[in-house]
Amino acid sequence: MEDLDTLVLRTALGWQAAGLPVVLVTVARTWGSSPRPPGSLMAINGRGETVGSVSGGCIEDDLIRRIREGGVQAACATDTPAVLRYGISADEAHRFGLPCGGTVELVLEPVSARSRLDELLQACQQRRSTERRLNRRTGQVELSEARRDGVPQLDDTHLTTYLGPQARIILIGAGDLSRFMSQMALSLGFEVIVCDPREEHRASWQMDGVVVSHEMPDDLILRLKPDARTAVVALTHDPKLDDLALIDALQSEAFYVGAIGSRRNSTLRRERLHTHFDLPDRALQALHGPAGLYIGSKTPAEIALSIMAEVVAVKNGIHRPSPTPVAAGKSLHDSPENPALTMSRCTV
């Protein structure tokens, strides 16, 4: 499944190729609470069809109405970008579904060859982070390499936004847990790769939208070179496979590296990686183990939820909270209130 930015760009290009007028709408600035952050994209064609969102509600309806009643020119007034502001007053904020009197400022851009959406889409597919600088007076766009997490900027002459590669997660091990994690990751817009060199484990493992690799984990990690939009999670409980992935992933730019297991096994893993593979403390401190937020997980689906929640939190810049203490030798996913649950509960 594509992430939303890629879907918007691809759909807008498809409409343009079909001869439909298209407006690309970008959230440029917000004040107070707003449903969608700056940089969010939406496209509307001349028939009023949409992809993406800027508010998740009435603002989209108002933009669709403008275009259906007067065409693209009614939304942009000219063939160059225009700026619209919603939610200036409390009444307008309520009308357009903006919480707490929030205000959102949008840039509406008629899509043409000068928009360079095809080049921008190609850069995203090649996992290149890109700065897009839109001239508000001419509609001309400049593209250059940049950080993915840059903050959009709007001034009198330009709108500068940042787009980059789709978030990606690499799962080591083809099992029930990786199946549930894959389903969740796909729904969250991640590119998903499952790696397992064991033929008996991956023989019946397949899922639409997921790439399944038979490479050794270290070979896969070295080949893909995880970037700052990539997470790596080891799920096999087999040090011969998990450790291989972790050694190289912890020395990459991956924003999240985690491994499943009990607290005792996680401690032994850190000692092993430090003693036998000479990984420095700085790298080991980046390891999330046991992976996942404590939610009292008991099933593979619940464990998958706890790990994906932590992955998303780290991706969004939220630091991991201190885990709930559990007894030695027990899994983070086991309930501390139920002593009958053992570390085997998270072996999937």
What is the average pLDDT value for the chain, to the nearest integer?
84
Query: Taking 90 as the threshold, does the pLDDT of residue 77 lie above it?
Result: no
Q: What count of residues does the chain have?
A: 348
What is the pLDDT confidence band of residue 148, given thresholds at 50, 70 and 90? low
- 163-187 pLDDT, tens digit each: 888 899 999 999 999 999 999 999 9
Residue whose entry in the numeric block shows the structure tokens 């939220």: 318
More confident residue, 206 or 328: 206
pLDDT of 100 reads 54
pLDDT of 311 reads 97
Spatial distance between the Cα atoms of 205 and 197, rounded to a whole number of angstroms:
12
What single-letter amino acid sits at 295? I
More confident residue, 300 or 74: 300
Spatial distance between the Cα atoms of 109 and 25, rounded to a whole number of angstroms:
6
Spatial distance between the Cα atoms of 105 and 337, rounded to a whole number of angstroms:
49
pLDDT above 70 as % of the chain? 83
- 83-134 pLDDT, tens digit each: 988 875 666 656 666 655 578 899 999 999 999 999 999 998 888 889 999 9
Domain boundaries, the chain: 4-163, 168-346
Half-sphere exposure of 38 (CA within 13 A, CB side): 17
Q: Which long-range contacts (CB under 8 A, 24 or more apart) does 180-188 make?
A: 180/300, 180/301, 180/303, 180/304, 180/305, 181/233, 181/235, 181/304, 181/307, 181/308, 182/207, 182/210, 183/207, 183/304, 184/304, 184/305, 184/308, 185/308, 185/311, 186/1, 186/210, 187/1, 188/308, 188/312
Q: What is the pTM of this model?
A: 0.75
What is the CATH number assigned to the segment(s) 168-346? 3.40.50.720
Strands (E) in 46-95, as ranges, are 50-52, 82-86
Q: Identify the CA nearest to 182 among candidates 258, 233, 222.
A: 233
Cβ neighbours of 109 (radius 10 Å): 25
Query: Taking 60 as the threshold, does the pLDDT of residue 333 lie above it?
Result: no
- 205-258 pLDDT, tens digit each: 888 989 999 999 999 999 999 999 999 999 998 989 999 999 999 999 999 999
Compute the average pLDDT of residues 315-332.
Answer: 55
